[in-house]
Structure 1
Amino acid sequence: MTRLPLPKGLTFVKSPARDAVADNRPVEELVAGVLARVQAEGDAAVRAFSAQFDKAELDSFEVTMEAREAAVARLDPQTLADTEFAIANVRAFAEAQLGSLSEIEVEVRPGVHLGHRNIPLERVGCYVPGGRYPLLSAPIMTIVPAKVAGCEEVIACLPPNAHEAMIAGCHLSGADRIFRIGGAQAIAAMALGTESVPPVDKIVGPGNAFVNEAKRQVFGPVGIDQLAGPSEIFILADHTGDAEMLATDLLAQAEHDARTRVGLITTDAALARAVLAEVDAQLATLSTAETAGQAWRDYGEIVVCESEAAMIAYSDIVAAEHLQVHTEDAHSLSKKLRHYGSLLIGTNSSVVYSDKCSGTNHTLPTMGAGRYTGGLWVGTYIKTVTHQWLTEEGVRQVAPPAARQAASETLEGHRRAAQLRLDRMQVQA
């Protein structure tokens, strides 16, 4: 359900059957209990919650270097090659992004020097979800940009029952330490620190509702990348759209989770009807139809817009996590869009490419957050901090207005601090 008014000229061929926003109070209460107990009991609490939630009895949480290397050795050769291919692309793009970040120092007035530096975070925690599938791209997307940014230590946490290939992915991506801890207890351990897990400065990565809520509750003393809801894909299409391709891409994302939000926004009513029929036809033979079909029935939508302007306006309200553009002039239309997580331009681009290996990051804003933020990138792991230094001429420039402003605000301490340096300079003169 959107909080913004819908543009005119929309006809819903299929509307979502359910609201994507659920009652989160039970999750909030459970997570608060997890955090409190981990803070009080450390490793003992983490061990107890791992047994309770993951059915895992662990003497040690950290994955040894021998186990990491063994996991890599047991990877299928083609899987290893494909993982290294994805890592290379994500690293190359992150390095290009890092190269675009400049440090500055400018003299805004005579003697008033201002600047900023880009400083990598010292220690970050990357949550790597286990999920229903071994998502080998997940550790790549969070760990590789952190290493490119220059973080001193990158901690990875993944559920103890995660596929062994996920450990290999963390290792190949460059994680300094890997812990077999999942769920809210993993977020608690990274945020608060335990006997085994060091506290981090920022936590990144997607997860289930409990992980998401834990990130929300620890935010403040610890930074987070974003609060992620269920995955989303929307596609903009005109009369040139291919119904088979559109339905295929929608269902590819829908199979992630039964709460995935999928939608087609089009200016062509005939295409809308064709896609509706094609989705049903493909679900009949899709091996993941139980999940994808549930997502489509509950959260799928198809809307016909009377004009391109209405299509753009509705898309910007949705602010989809992944937004594909299948129109006659996709590049031109794309320049008119402003709210989305990541844009896939033209029919040759697909969410599956960016999700897996093309190089852009798949950790993206959902639930309308694309209206105010972008996704995970190398800058997520860097803080831009300012500095200043003044010559005596700089003091002469800024001290008088600063002192006057402080006086007008009746802040006498401020006025004295502003005036002191100027007075001393005048005495020395």
Structure 2
Amino acid sequence: MKIIKKAKERTAADNRELRNTVQAIIDNVCADGDRALKEYSNKFDDYVRGELRVSRHEIDAAYEKMSPQDIEDLKAAKANIEAFAKAQRGTMTELENFSPQPGIYLGHKVIPVSSCCCYVPGGSYPLYSTALMLITPAKVAGVKRVAACAPVVHGTGDIHYKTLVAMDLAGADEIYAVGGAQAIAAFAYGTQTIKPVDMIVGPGNKFVAEAKRQCYGQIGIDFIAGPSEVLVIADTCADPKVLAADLLAQCEHDPNAKAFLLSTDETLAIETIAAVEKELETLDTAGIARRSWDDYGEVVVLDSLDEAVETANNYAPEHLEVNIAKPEQIINKLVNYGSLFIGGNTAEVFGDYASGTNHTLPTVKASRYTGGVWVGTFLKVCTNQWMTPEASRRIAPLVNRMAKGEGLSGHALAAERRF
């Protein structure tokens, strides 16, 4: 292994101040409801809305600002996302009357959660694609009440019009102009205007992530997401300019985003660094991308593809690109990633917007134990069972003995009553 460009170490900073700040926001929203939300809107957004819920009139006005092409693009992207979500839903089948022994019948039902909130971040950019990614699979899953929220454009009191249209096209039942940790608290505990939900999904800044962490248990969440990441495995067949574009596509998200290149060829690695520097000269978002690349960009030359696989699995990235001549050589060896992009034709940004897979993915090594948001995020697999009288009498002595062994006489008695 040879490190050509090394990233800064991410330190395990003490987040006590963040935890305390978010806890205070949650407590305030629980105590004062809508009043607290409007106070935070005034403080952070420089605007106080009369109504937190977005009206049909506002949604229609947002459509008026869209070009026909903009609307068609959103519809085309949604169609692919919806089609894939439906295909995924089709793989989740119910199980009925499985019998481990005569007279005992087991099964499970696949049940959608009753309500969810899809949190769409608004920070630096209007991330309307995230509205499609969150709301569409929730609707396909069959969630009866799909609420959506997003921060307003600073000083206006309005959600960005493209985000608002995307929320509507995706099928949101309710839309609220509220963001930040206070939005998470509102949907977790409820206010005078906002009815609480069963689950909250979606990315956000560190305050949103911490609020989701603190509210977990009161509500379900997808996962706690951090800064965006991409890891690219490349060999001599890759184009340095393409690699540079893919790396910087992640860097422009956030100064804390990470772009990581693993190459089996040192010349390619050096040429890619040069291509990144050249692209940064003209990139509109170079202010953010430069900071991310300088601080967290990393380029490593490895002796073999097997070493690249081991490194990638240890890193467990959000996005993993395999840009090599024969991807099939290593695909089955890769086990830790949020989403996998196979071959040089498959840009990670295609998945960000329109190919159909979800872009709401685990970061900071969470892909070791979870995948991204998908239709199954909104579904519960709940078991059931029934028995014949004969089977009940047959299994009851076994359960009676096991319960007595644990010292649980009430359990033992409940079994004994069956025989």
User: Normalising TM by the smaller chain, what interval?
Assistant: over 0.9
> Given the alignment of the two structures, is residue 304 of structure 1 paired with residue 301 of structure 2, yes or no?
yes
Query: Structure 2 residue aligned with 1:224, among 217, 221, 225?
Result: 221
Structure 2 partner of 1:68: 59
Quick one: distance in 2 between partners of 1:136 and 1:312? 34
* Structure 1, 316-325 or 19-28: larger mean CA deviation: 19-28
Aligned to 1:124, the other structure's residue is in SS state strand
Quick one: distance in 2 between partners of 1:140 and 1:70? 19
Structure 2 partner of 1:166: 163
C-alpha distance 215-142 of structure 1, shift in aligned 2 (>3 A): same
Structure 1 partner of 2:141: 149
C-alpha distance 21-175 of structure 1, shift in aligned 2 (>3 A): farther
Query: Structure 1 residue aligned with 2:46, among 46, 55, 66?
Result: 55
> Given the alignment of the two structures, is residue 247 of structure 1 paired with residue 239 of structure 2, yes or no?
no
Aligned to 2:333, the other structure's residue is in SS state coil
Q: State the 1:396 CA deviation.
A: 2.9
Quick one: distance in 1 between partners of 2:304 and 2:58? 57
C-alpha distance 70-21 of structure 1, shift in aligned 2 (>3 A): farther
Summarize the alignment of residues 409-420 of structure 1 with structure 2, pairs less than 5 Å apart.
409-420=406-417
Q: State the 1:397 CA deviation.
A: 3.2
Quick one: distance in 2 between partners of 1:350 and 1:381? 28
Quick one: distance in 1 between partners of 2:47 and 2:100? 60
Assess if the C-alpha contact under 8 Å between 1:34 and 1:184 holds in 2.
yes
Q: Which amino acid counterpart does residue 84 of structure 1 have in structure 2?
A: K
Query: Structure 1 residue aligned with 2:112, among 97, 115, 120?
Result: 120
Aligned to 1:335, the other structure's residue is in SS state helix
Aligned to 1:198, the other structure's residue is in SS state coil
Q: Which amino acid counterpart does residue 396 of structure 1 have in structure 2?
A: R
- Once the two structures are superposed, what CA deviation does each residue of 1:66-100 show, in whole Å capped at 9, x if it has no partner? 21122123211111110000111100000000011
Structure 1 partner of 2:277: 280
Q: State the 1:23 CA deviation.
A: 3.6
Structure 2 partner of 1:270: 267
* Structure 1, 143-152 or 58-67: larger mean CA deviation: 58-67
TM-score between the two structures when normalised by the length of structure 2: 0.97
Identity %: 46
Assess if the C-alpha contact under 8 Å between 2:184 and 2:212 holds in 1.
yes
Assess if the C-alpha contact under 8 Å between 1:153 and 1:176 holds in 2.
yes
Structure 2 partner of 1:388: 385
Structure 2 partner of 1:367: 364
Structure 2 partner of 1:4: none
Quick one: distance in 2 between partners of 1:344 and 1:316? 15
> Given the alignment of the two structures, is residue 89 of structure 1 paired with residue 80 of structure 2, yes or no?
yes
Consecutive unaligned residues of structure 1, counting only runs of 5 or more, are 1-9, 423-429
- Once the two structures are superposed, what CA deviation does each residue of 1:281-340 show, in whole Å capped at 9, x if it has no partner? 111111111100100011110111111111100000111100000011113321221100
Consecutive unaligned residues of structure 2, counting only runs of 5 or more, are 154-158
Structure 1 partner of 2:209: 212
> Given the alignment of the two structures, is residue 37 of structure 1 paired with residue 28 of structure 2, yes or no?
yes
* Structure 1, 325-334 or 44-53: larger mean CA deviation: 325-334
- Once the two structures are superposed, what CA deviation does each residue of 1:94-128 show, in whole Å capped at 9, x if it has no partner? 00000111100201111111110000110100101
Q: How many residues align?
A: 413
Q: State the 1:163 CA deviation.
A: 1.5
C-alpha distance 20-297 of structure 1, shift in aligned 2 (>3 A): farther
Assess if the C-alpha contact under 8 Å between 2:393 and 2:418 holds in 1.
no
Query: Structure 2 residue aligned with 1:343, among 340, 344, 351?
Result: 340
Aligned to 1:206, the other structure's residue is in SS state coil
Assess if the C-alpha contact under 8 Å between 1:125 and 1:202 holds in 2.
yes
Q: Which amino acid counterpart does residue 369 of structure 2 have in structure 1?
A: Y
> Given the alignment of the two structures, is residue 134 of structure 1 paired with residue 126 of structure 2, yes or no?
yes
C-alpha distance 319-118 of structure 1, shift in aligned 2 (>3 A): same
Aligned to 1:195, the other structure's residue is in SS state coil
Structure 1 partner of 2:172: 175
Aligned to 1:256, the other structure's residue is in SS state coil
C-alpha distance 324-126 of structure 1, shift in aligned 2 (>3 A): same
Cα RMSD between the aligned structures?
1.1
Assess if the C-alpha contact under 8 Å between 1:110 and 1:397 holds in 2.
no
Runs of 4+ in 1 over 4 A off after TM superposition: none
Quick one: distance in 1 between partners of 2:384 and 2:47? 49
Quick one: distance in 2 between partners of 1:146 and 1:241? 37
* Structure 1, 201-210 or 268-277: larger mean CA deviation: 268-277
Structure 1 partner of 2:316: 319
- Once the two structures are superposed, what CA deviation does each residue of 1:125-182 show, in whole Å capped at 9, x if it has no partner? 0101002111220100000000000000100011122422111111111000000001
Q: State the 1:21 CA deviation.
A: 4.9
Quick one: distance in 2 between partners of 1:347 and 1:270? 18
Quick one: distance in 1 between partners of 2:406 and 2:33? 48
Quick one: distance in 2 between partners of 1:21 and 1:86? 38
Quick one: distance in 1 between partners of 2:95 and 2:200? 28
Q: Which amino acid counterpart does residue 408 of structure 1 have in structure 2?
A: G
C-alpha distance 352-20 of structure 1, shift in aligned 2 (>3 A): farther
> Given the alignment of the two structures, is residue 15 of structure 1 paired with residue 6 of structure 2, yes or no?
yes
Quick one: distance in 1 between partners of 2:306 and 2:178? 48
Quick one: distance in 1 between partners of 2:116 and 2:336? 28
TM-score between the two structures when normalised by the length of structure 1: 0.94
C-alpha distance 224-193 of structure 1, shift in aligned 2 (>3 A): same
Aligned to 2:399, the other structure's residue is in SS state helix
Structure 2 partner of 1:425: none
C-alpha distance 282-22 of structure 1, shift in aligned 2 (>3 A): farther
Quick one: distance in 2 between partners of 1:390 and 1:315? 48
Q: Which amino acid counterpart does residue 350 of structure 2 have in structure 1?
A: Y
> Given the alignment of the two structures, is residue 260 of structure 1 paired with residue 260 of structure 2, yes or no?
no
Quick one: distance in 1 between partners of 2:61 and 2:347? 34
Quick one: distance in 2 between partners of 1:21 and 1:170? 36
Quick one: distance in 1 between partners of 2:177 and 2:384? 40
- Once the two structures are superposed, what CA deviation does each residue of 1:40-65 show, in whole Å capped at 9, x if it has no partner? 11100111011111212111101111
Quick one: distance in 1 between partners of 2:2 and 2:133? 37
Q: State the 1:20 CA deviation.
A: 6.4
Structure 1 partner of 2:156: none
